[in-house]
Amino acid sequence: MPVLETDGVSIRFGGVQALSNVSLRIDEGEIVGILGPNGAGKTTLFNCVSGFYQPTEGRIRLFDEDVTDQKPEARAQRGLGRTFQQVGLVRSFTVLENLIVAQHASVRSSSVSAVLGLGAARREERELRRRADRVLDFMGLGDVRDRPIAGLPYGTLKMVEVAAVLATDPSILMLDEPLAGASAEEGSAFCDRVEQMRRELGLTIILIEHHVPLVLRTSDYVYVLNFGSLLAEGPPEEIRGNQAVAEAYMGEGATALA
Amino acid sequence: MLESIVEVLVFGIQRGAIFGLVGLGLALVYTSTRILNFAQGELGTVPAFVAFLIMAGFSTDTAADADRGLLLPALVVAVAVGAVLGIALYLAVIRPLGSVSPVTSLVATAGVALLLTSVEINVFQAAGRPFPRPVAGGFRLPVVDIIVEWHTIVILGVLAGVAALLAAFFKSAPGVALLATAQDPFAAELHGVPVERMRAMAWGAAGALGALAGVLGAGVFETLTPGLVTSTFLIPAFTGVVLGGITSMVGAVVGGFALGIVSQAAIEIVTALELDISGPPQLAVLLVLLAVLLVRPQGLLGRSA
Amino acid sequence: MTDLAPPPVADPGDERVGGPAAEPVVPAAAPARPARPRVVPLALILTAFLSLPLVVSATYLNVVSRAAIYGIVAISLNVLVGYAGQVSLGHAAFLGLGAFSSGYALSEMGLPFPGALLTAVLVSMGIALVLGGVALRVTGLYLALVTIAFGLFAQETLFNIRSLTGGGAGQPAPRPDLFAGDVAYAYLCIAVLALVIAFDWRLTATKAGRAIQALRDDERVAASWGIDVTGYKLLAFVISGGIAGLGGALFASVEQIVAKDDFPFSLSLTFLLMTVVGGTGNRWGVVQGGLLFAALPTLLDQLHANVHVFPFTSITATWEPAIGAVLLLLTLMMFPGGMAQQQGALLRWLGGGPFAHDPEPSGPAQGGGMGARP
């Protein structure tokens, strides 16, 4: 069952056609990779799907509902979570506080009772912290729990960002280059984590990454973008041997990826 | 009825011309350095006070009178002072601030305006000083019995001259370089454009424009008070710039005239309909600003961001 | 997004999440030391502050009241600028709305003082709702212009509506009998300031308060977490207007008469300046900013009269705007965190943390990697 579909999505900025007729289909529980050289439009696609850009053509469907005209907040509340290329966190907060704000959509008690510090609100506060701790433990970030964001290393922040998105309790997780600046080892560990997320949390995951071998290893299905259009799509083995894809990444004459 | 319309137009154009002159300075600074300069008004009032000093024989005494004959040399000095002040402002405040959000630079320039006004009050006291016009008197329009002041014609002439100068400048090589500096400083630098010098130049030019607005603006009221340009002309000038399109210098002038006419029309309507509304110009400015930002934020002549 | 509030000062005494003070930053190996606020120094400072109305001479009692009111306005502006990352260069308008509403409620409607305060808050919140609903669609720079224009419109048009504001003659705003004396009224203002600070403290522990704060750094991130960006910006604006209105009600009854000329644009600018100089985003900083700017003219006069050394011999109260402007420029250019940042070590120590400089490098830019990808 498709959880996310884009139907002929195109978008222009001034004179530049950033995306042309991109159609994808992502089924429940899949891990899907989005590949493509720099400037291919991968993040632009994420921005259209999550609602920060309005496509000039095409529709976006989330759980079979047309969400093209919905604000990002609404799509997030429907279970769409994403990370950003520049780490998307509240810098003035600690790690824990970020994970608590991220649970915003699930907080039930009224603000009045929270201001007055009444019982139900206090109980919910404790629950928010407990849930945040659980997510941090899942991601192996327990030791940075109370550290302010400003001051943590970049790689750690990328993982904290993933943790924050997990705290929003999404059904679909869109990861925009989570491994930027990571070592091969860290990358491999993260891919195991992605598998774990699918298995234990039942998430559907869409992954933009430049680390081609890792993407091919982890994904069930891969889309390749180039100059705003879909260059190729298919299971990893097909993409691996695809000459056009190899040339897009490595120039003419290349025959295969990874 | 016709008389009212012509009156609105005449007074509107007179005010609007100063709004346009101030607005040109605002647009120039924004186009070249992406900063909304809240001190643009005081870049006018301070040189005007310098001009007054020259005409009053360097006396800060409240009873001192201004010698009209010295107006022209005083104006020249004022323009020079304005240019220097503009460049100084850029070098001492704007550049050290580095790349900050537009709001922060707006607040910083507002702080400078506050500082300059406070200095003016302390040096010259709050009382108004007499300030002459280059040409006194006016002429009577036929049909409608309305006097058009020569001062208005002078302001329009100066505005036209400045506009022509700027238009020519922006077609020339240094002008194009200045625009490039604003749009893509990195690329401009790669092409050998002296980016910092261009920016300082733009601020200097804005200061000179401000000085013109200050001297001519004081002439409108024939009185110079501390903070004059900021309190009387700046906000409508800003609104005019937004209306015309913040990246368009023609827009700044057109917007300025539009604001002048709309403000006058507001006063006229309120008086004619005997409405009990005070401060019609302030109301008009707010409404125009809101209307533009809600309907067409890039302004009439601006390009959408 | 505004960077009037740059790298925030870690403030362990600041309970953001409704729990106990966050633990001070320690290296991973050492066991975490529970943070307890240092009660004795805090008590001393509090006592000194609270005894002011009893200690200052009668002429300065109204300055104390005004200082507390400026502190209230600073908190209100902090919610909008420091937490939500928006801007207002027209906050004197909300002060005025509160002042005139309270005056009207007291003189024309004969309401008791608490009723007048409530009226002031409700009117300010209502106008903030309308203005915010329209103006918050535009960001940053344009919002600043709208608030300036609104401030001017409020002063010239709204505050001139004779029937509501007494026109040029001004609106009387008598004090309640219980607090008629200057000393008592000063304590009332201080008490309200304390309440406002407490409210602000609790606000940051709520879902709404956290959501508002999340807006400042990056609205898109907040949106991606399901936070209704426009809605919470508007909420911040309304809360900010309401608190400023409350300050306005107290303001009106300081002199017991209020007129439109009490609310010029320069006052709005002063309000923003004092918030920035105090340290946007830090409630203790902004309150201090408010206290400082309210007391500045008096301070300058005192220095002028008693310190016979240059420059104090030439600087009198009329130079106050210039001094304020210089403080602002210094803050923006050299001390971005304002007074709060300068006092960082002290505030940390009072909250229970170490006095020594924070061993972890703090500040936004980490090495290299955070650069934007085009």
pLDDT at position C304 over 60: yes
Can you give the CATH number for the domain in which C80 is found? 1.10.3470
**Which chains have at least 3 CB atom pairs separated by less than 8 Å from chain B?**
C
Instruction: Please state, for a pLDDT cut of 90, what percent of chain A lies above it.
Output: 60
Residue C97 lies inside a defined structural domain of this protein = yes
Helix (H, G, I), strand (E, B) or coil at C73: helix
Amino acid symbol at B150: W
CB atoms within 10 A of CB A142: 11
Amino acid symbol at B304: S
Helix (H, G, I), strand (E, B) or coil at A158: helix
For residues B55 and B59, what is the distance between their CA atoms, to the nearest angstrom?
A: 9
Q: For residue A43, what pLDDT band results from cuts at 50, 70 and 90?
A: very high
pLDDT of residue C24: 38
Cβ atoms of residues C236 and C80 within 8 Å:
yes
Residue C370 lies inside a defined structural domain of this protein = no
Of C31-40, C185-194, C277-286, minimum mean pLDDT range: C31-40
Q: What is the DSSP letter of B223?
A: E
Helix (H, G, I), strand (E, B) or coil at B34: coil
- Find the CB nearest B293 among C142, C156, C266: C142
Question: Per the structure, how many domains does chain B have?
Answer: 1
Tell me the whole-structure pTM to 2 decimals. 0.87
Helix (H, G, I), strand (E, B) or coil at B260: helix
For the segment A82-86, the average pLDDT, to the nearest whole number, is 91
pLDDT of residue B304: 55
**Residue appearing with tokens 């208005």:** B152
pLDDT of residue C254: 92
Residue B88 lies inside a defined structural domain of this protein = yes
Residue C23 lies inside a defined structural domain of this protein = no
Residue B61 lies inside a defined structural domain of this protein = yes
Residue C209 lies inside a defined structural domain of this protein = yes
pLDDT at position C167 over 80: no
pLDDT digits (tens, 9 = 90+) for C105-148: 998 888 999 999 999 999 999 999 999 998 888 877 889 989 99
Name every chain A residue with its beta carbon within 8 A of the beta carbon of C25: 147-148, 151
**Residue A205 φ/ψ, nearest 5 degrees:** -125, 135
Residue B4 lies inside a defined structural domain of this protein = no
Sign of CA dihedral A96, A97, A102, A105: positive
CA atoms within 13 A on the CB side of C20: 9
Q: What is the CA radius of gyration of chain A?
A: 19
The reply to whether residue B282 touches residue C149, judged by beta carbons under 8 angstroms, is yes
For residues B22 and B213, what is the distance between their CA atoms, to the nearest angstrom?
A: 6
Helix (H, G, I), strand (E, B) or coil at C141: helix
Residue C22 lies inside a defined structural domain of this protein = no
Å from B12 to nearest chain C CA?
19
**Residue C159 φ/ψ, nearest 5 degrees:** -80, 5
Q: For residue C218, what pLDDT band results from cuts at 50, 70 and 90?
A: confident
Closest CA to C252 of C319, C188, C347, C156: C188
Scanning every residue of chain B, which has its alpha carbon at the shortest distance from the alpha carbon of C162?
Answer: B276
Higher per-residue confidence, C301 vs A134: A134
pLDDT of residue C5: 57
- Find the CB nearest C206 among A87, A94, A111: A111
Q: What is the DSSP letter of C23?
A: P
Which residues of B lie inside 8 Å of C (Cβ-Cβ)? 36, 93, 96-97, 100-104, 106-108, 110-112, 114-115, 117-119, 121-122, 231, 235, 238-239, 242, 276-283, 285-286, 289-290, 293-294, 297
pLDDT of residue B46: 95
For residues B278 and C261, what is the distance between their CA atoms, to the nearest angstrom?
A: 14
pLDDT digits (tens, 9 = 90+) for A156-182: 999 999 999 999 999 999 999 988 878
For residues B13 and B7, what is the distance between their CA atoms, to the nearest angstrom?
A: 10
For residues B6 and C3, what is the distance between their CA atoms, to the nearest angstrom?
A: 47
Q: What is the DSSP letter of B94?
A: I
Residue B270 lies inside a defined structural domain of this protein = no
Of B120-129, C79-88, C278-287, C340-349, minimum mean pLDDT range: C340-349
Scanning every residue of chain B, which has its alpha carbon at the shortest distance from the alpha carbon of C159?
Answer: B278
Cβ atoms of residues C9 and C322 within 8 Å:
no
Residues 6+ apart with CB under 8 A from C301: C316, C317
Residue B13 lies inside a defined structural domain of this protein = no
Residue B6 lies inside a defined structural domain of this protein = no
Q: What residue ranges of chain B have pLDDT lower than 70?
A: 303-305
Q: Is C15 on the interface with A (CB under 8 A)?
A: no
- Find the CB nearest B102 among C140, C265, C322: C140
Of A188-192, A220-224, C217-221, C353-357, minimum mean pLDDT range: C353-357
Residues 6+ apart with CB under 8 A from B7: B144, B146, B264, B268
Residue B281 lies inside a defined structural domain of this protein = no
Å from B162 to nearest chain C CA?
26
Structure tokens at B186: 């990195």
What is the average pLDDT score of chain C? 82
Question: Per the structure, how many domains does chain C have?
Answer: 1
Closest CA to B227 of B44, B65, B70, B101: B44
- What is this model's ipTM? 0.90
pLDDT digits (tens, 9 = 90+) for B100-152: 888 889 999 999 999 999 999 988 888 888 898 888 888 888 887 788 889 99
Domain coverage including residue C108: 38-44+61-358
Residue B235 lies inside a defined structural domain of this protein = no
Strand-strand pairing, A221-226 and A229-234 = antiparallel
For the segment A210-227, the average pLDDT, to the nearest whole number, is 89
Residue C125, Cα to own-chain centre: how many angstroms? 16
Strand-strand pairing, A204-208 and A80-82 = unpaired
For residues A137 and B202, what is the distance between their CA atoms, to the nearest angstrom?
A: 56
Task: Report in angstroms the alpha-carbon separations of A153 from A70, A85, A86, C362, C365.
Answer: 35, 15, 13, 11, 10
Domain coverage including residue B79: 21-230
Closest CA to A16 of A175, A224, A164, A228: A228
